[in-house]
Structures are given as structure tokens and as C-alpha cells.
Structure 1
Amino acid sequence: MCLQAVRFFIVNKLIFFARNLPSQFFNPLTMTVKRYVESNVTFLTLDWYTEISKYRYIFFFIMFTLYILIIYTNSTIVYLIFIHKNLHEPMYIFIAALLLNSVLYSTTVYPKLLIGFLSEKQVTTYSACLFQFFMFYTLGGSEFLLLAAMAYDRYVAICKPLQYQIIMRKTTVSISLIIAWLVPGCHMAVLAIASTEAKLCDFKIKGIFCNNAVYTLQCQRSRLITIFGVVTLLDLAILPMLFIVFTYTKIFIVSYQSCKEIRKKAAETCLPHLLVLISACLFYVYDVSIARVELDFPKTARIIMTLQIVLYHPLFNPFVYGLKMKEISKHLKGLLSQAKFITCIKIGC
């Protein structure tokens, strides 16, 4: 009787405990534990895996190849700018900074994505997710500010050529680079830290990595995050974009009124910047629309568009600047010829 009473007591306690667990503790479909209260660590799942699980090894090979290509092409242009003194000019320094930013930007996403292709479960911690969110938008904001710095450099070079050496000194370039990386970092640090205390009502991220979708997990978005998010968008995207549009408008007005040589110079140096800016704006408008406005996009379309964000700029920036910029293209051809000559000697051709 005593043993039966003990069993009855234990079973009743277990039933009471199970009934009082929060509904989010278990996923009703997979019965996977989402939050481990004992360790105070929150785990999240990414919902992209089910769409491509059959072809994950093919996707791994493709994305790994693209990641290596991104690292190699961007690093090659940065190396050329570093070793050739005639490329130690503000315009080329900003290009090197932009390409280095692309390498860091890719490294924020690709390693975790590649690991996900080889894993059975797409799980990450909330803290790791916020760190990826912080790095992704910090480097994304840096890209806009670097493009703004490049636009200002071209504006001074074409519209105020006699004052170029005075205005675009090493100090000016250094301050511009510091601002381009520091300001986005400070903005995103506030948003990431504010999100650490947010209560979550969902534990499944609609995407392939942690971007603005982290806000859709929160039960209620705080007023601080909403207001400061708008300020961040204004400071890191809208204002730089308006500044770039203003400077290029001035450049094209001056170029149109000048000789053919000036117009050609403006086209060679400004068109690559404009191509990068337009594509960046389109992709980030999509990113903000999906998360902030919470538009309902098909899952496959969302995955494709998100991949475009992390693929297009890092992969095509070195080709845009390497092939369109005459001086960089010349040194690149020299490097390839040298590599071909060394290879030919080694194989005895």
C-alpha cells in the first residue's frame, strides 16, 4: 500500500508538471525541445532545410565553390591594390575596403550555411543568431557608407579637381574608413543587445540565416527596437543613398558640360559604383519588406532572394571593379600573365 501511494504521488506530480509547461516548450509536430530551462539557453531552428534536403550535398558543393571563389577574387584585388604603389590612391583604397568588407560579409553567412547543409538538424542558439544578425547588418551598413565615401571621392576628383589633394588627404580617408565600420557597429550593437531580453513566442526562423527575421520570433517588439531600427535604417541606408544620388547628379551635370575626356572618365569610374548601389538597394528593400512589413512570400522564393543578397555583391564586386577600372585591370592581367609563365616553367612547356 505504501509503495502504491508513492507511485500515485509521483505520477500526479509528473502530470501536474507536464500540464503547466508553456506551450512553446515543445514543437507539436516534431516534439523537439526548443528551450532548455535548466541551462537557460534558447535554441532555434531554421525552416529552409526541408525545401532542399534531397539535394543538400549538391547545394553544399555549389555554395562551397562560390565561397572559395568569393574569397579568392576579392582577396586578389585587395592584394593588387596593396602591393602596387600607384594604386595607393583614395579611390582604390575605398575599393579595397569594400572588397575586404565583402569577404567579411560572406564569412558571416557561408560557414554556418555550409555546416547546415551537412547537418541533420538546422539548430542554432538565440545568442549565436543575434551575433550573426549583428555582423550581417553591420557589414551591410558599412557597404552603403563605403559607397558613399567612394561617391564623395569621385565628386571631389571630377567637380573640384584642383582641391582634390587638399581634401582627400590620408587623414580624410582614414576617418572615412573608421566611420564606415564603427557607426554601423554601434547602431547594430544597440539593436542586438536590446533583442537579448525580448520574450520569444516562436522558435522557427523563416530563412537560411539570422537576419531581420529574428524580429518575427518576438512576442511583442519593443518600442526601443522599433524606433531605433528606423533610425538605423535612416542612418545606414537612406541618408547614404540620398548623398550618393546627390553627388552623382552633380558629377553627371559637370561631366555633361565638360569635354569628352571628362565624360569618359566619369563613366569609367562612376558606373561600377552605381551598378553596385542599385543592386544593393533592391536587395535590402526586399530584406526590410519581408521582416519589417512581414510580407507573406513563398518559402522557395524567399530562399532564392536571400541567397541573392549573400551571393551577388561578394561575387560580382571584384569583377565589376577589377574589369571596369583600367589600372586594376592592367595589374590583374600582369598578375595572370606572371602566374601563367611560372606554371609554364614548372611543367616544362
Structure 2
Amino acid sequence: MLNSTQVSYFTLGAYFDTKQVKYVLFLILLCLYVLIVGSNVLLIMVICVKRSLHEPMYMFLCSLFVNELYGSTGLFPFLLVQILSDVHIISAPLCFLQIFCLYTYAGVEFCNLAVMSYDRYLAICHPLQYHALMSLKKVALFIAAAWITAFLIVTTTTSLSFSLPLCGNFINKVYCDNYSIVKLACSDTTVNNIYGLISTALVVFVSVGLILYTYMRILKVCFSGSKQTRQKAVSTCTPHLASLVNFSFGICFEVLQSRFNMSSTPGAVKVLLSLYYVTCQPLFNPVMYGVKLSTIRSMWKRLFWVKLK
């Protein structure tokens, strides 16, 4: 029997022989990573530099963009190295570090989207009291709570998995996954499974429940409000809803291909499904918010106009 202290590395079995195509895949992923980093960093800079954007909604967006950088950096450099490598292994410490990064990324994303929906609810349903109810101090507390909650929950998750005695070191994915490691355990994993369900319920269901509640209240105000109120709601809520739907689909794809037998599905498709939530979301958010929010659009126009002049 092997235990977690004796397993020095894990073998990643979802990589397939691409021969010379691996260089094309490397360039595609590299370009995608550069786009993700560039778009998110630029929007963070715009929000930080422009004092007119030091409002609650843009502070939450800044937190969201920082999380996109964090999540994509937890995956892309590793993927780029593995694509060019002939031996697809990862050391045990790096494997658990990657699990920690990707799981906290997902947790922070859900928490961020939840507090952003609450912010939009206050702005649309209580516009006169908005700045009193959502002060910059409260914004900082909400952002800190989102990050700290995710980090604490995932720290416990990885600690429980790290202490498991393992009977193997083969993971049938292109990156490390906590569920795959738990399946390698030789001992009882009831505690891991129960904690996994409880932590998922806390992060996902509470966040989605809050989002659904706030949007029910927003819809009620929109139906009884003025045309201007409806336009404001549509312009600020559309990118948020699109981001939530996109990320939720990505998480669903990841759960489906991890938990259920998909032996009939081509390997390339399974890999794409497992990577969707941490590759498309970091690029989707800056594009969506940059296009849909008129304030950010106008700031971009001013910056580019000044540069052109």
C-alpha cells in the first residue's frame, strides 16, 4: 500500500500523442493565455487608474478580473509545459498546489458573482440608499469574505485529501483533480465525500440561491418601474447573467466528465470539457464587461483617442 507521503508524483493519463501538432496546440494555448492576461490586466489598470470608476460595481469587477488571472495562471503555464513534454507527470506537492489554485478559483468566482448580484439589487431596487448601503468599506469586506471563504474551504479539502493513503498515482486528466485523488484512496473516504458535499452546498447553492433571490427582486422592480429603470437593469445585469451562465455550464461540464462514465466520448472532447470553465471564463468576462458596460467602453475610447492624437 502506498500512502500520500510515499507518492512522490502523479501520472496524468489524458494526454494523447499529437506528434508535430503539439507545437500548434502550444501556440494556440499560449496565444489564449496572453489574451487572458492582457485583457484582464488592462481592465484592472483602467479601473484602478480612473478615479471615476472607483465605485462598488467596478471594485467587484476588479476582484473578478484578478481571480481570472489567478485561475488561468494556476493552469496554463503547467499545460504549456506538459504539451511539449514527452513524460506527463507532476510532483505530489505541485499537484496539490494546482488543486488548491483551481478549486479556490472556482469558489471565489461563485462568491464574487453572488456579491455582484447583491450589489446590482441594491443599485436598482434601492437607488436612493445605495451609497449608504454599499459603502467602499462594505465592498472591501464583501471582497475579502469571498476570497477568505473560498481559501478556508479549499484548504480543508486539500488537507483531507493529502492525508489519504493512496493505492496508485494515475490520474486520467490533463491536470490534477481532487476527486481523482480521492478515488485512488485505499481507506474510507466518507469524511472527504461528506465535506465535499457540504462545501459545495455552501459555495455553489448559497451563491446561486442569493443570485436567484436578487434577480427575482430586480425583475419585480423592472416590471413596475420606468423605462429608464429597465434599461439600467438590462445594461448592468446582462453581462453578469451571461458570466454566471457561462461559468455554470463550465462547472457542469467538469462535473459530468469527472463523475460519470464517458468512455464513448472522444478523449479530445473530454479534455476540452474539463478545461472549459478555467479557459473560456477568464477570456469571456473581460470581453463581455468591456463591451456591455458603457462606462468602460467610453474609457477605452478616451484612452485610445488620446494615444492616437
CA distance in 2, matches of 1:213, 1:327: 44
CA distance in 2, matches of 1:238, 1:53: 43
Q: TM-score, normalised by structure 1?
A: 0.83
Report the number of matched residues. Answer: 306
Flag the 1:335–1:88 CA change in 2: closer, same or farther, 3 A.
same
How far off is 1:222 after superposition? 1.6
1:287-302 aligned at under 5 Å gives the runs: 287-291=254-258, 293-297=259-263, 298=265, 299-302=267-270
Please point out which of 301, 307, 320 is paired with 2:288.
320
1:282 alignment partner, SS class: helix
CA distance in 1, matches of 2:182, 2:234: 41
Please point out which of 74, 78, 99 is paired with 1:133.
99
Q: Which moved more, 1:197-206 or 1:60-69?
A: 197-206
CA distance in 2, matches of 1:140, 1:96: 16
Q: Which moved more, 1:327-336 or 1:183-192?
A: 327-336
CA distance in 2, matches of 1:54, 1:238: 44
Contact 1:139 1:181 in 2 (8 A): no
Gaps of 5+ in 2: none
Please point out which of 192, 199, 204 is paired with 2:170.
204
Which structure has more relative contact order (CA 8 Å, sep 6+)? It is 2
CA distance in 1, matches of 2:18, 2:107: 30
Q: Which moved more, 1:54-63 or 1:182-191?
A: 54-63
Residue type of the alignment partner of 1:130: F
Would you say 1:336 and 2:296 are equivalent positions?
A: no
Please point out which of 10, 29, 36 is paired with 1:44.
10
% identical aligned pairs: 30
Contact 2:182 2:189 in 1 (8 A): no
CA distance in 2, matches of 1:322, 1:221: 48
Contact 2:169 2:184 in 1 (8 A): yes
Contact 1:51 1:300 in 2 (8 A): no
Match of 1:281 in 2: 248
Please point out which of 159, 167, 188 is paired with 1:193.
159
Flag the 1:336–1:166 CA change in 2: closer, same or farther, 3 A.
same
Would you say 1:311 and 2:279 are equivalent positions?
A: yes
Please point out which of 261, 275, 289 is paired with 2:228.
261
Flag the 1:259–1:51 CA change in 2: closer, same or farther, 3 A.
farther
Gaps of 5+ in 1: 1-21, 25-34, 342-349
Structure label with greater radius of gyration = 1
User: Any idea what the Cα deviations from partners look like across 1:9-43, whole Å, max 9, x if unmatched?
Assistant: xxxxxxxxxxxxx6x8xxxxxxxxxx9x9x94421
Contact 2:257 2:273 in 1 (8 A): no
How far off is 1:53 after superposition? 4.3
Contact 1:127 1:196 in 2 (8 A): no
CA distance in 1, matches of 2:77, 2:185: 26
Match of 1:29 in 2: none
Contact 1:46 1:122 in 2 (8 A): yes
CA distance in 2, matches of 1:296, 1:47: 15
Please point out which of 54, 61, 64 is paired with 1:95.
61
What CA RMSD, in Å, does the superposition of the two structures yield over aligned residues?
Answer: 1.9
1:1-349 aligned at under 5 Å gives the runs: 40-211=6-177, 212-220=179-187, 222-291=189-258, 293-297=259-263, 298=265, 299-341=267-309
Residue type of the alignment partner of 2:305: S
How far off is 1:54 after superposition? 4.3
CA distance in 1, matches of 2:65, 2:175: 22
1:191 alignment partner, SS class: helix
CA distance in 2, matches of 1:60, 1:220: 39
Q: Which runs of 4+ in 1 moved over 4 A?
A: none
CA distance in 1, matches of 2:278, 2:145: 23
User: Any idea what the Cα deviations from partners look like across 1:152-186, whole Å, max 9, x if unmatched?
Assistant: 01000110111111110122101101111000111
Residue type of the alignment partner of 2:69: V
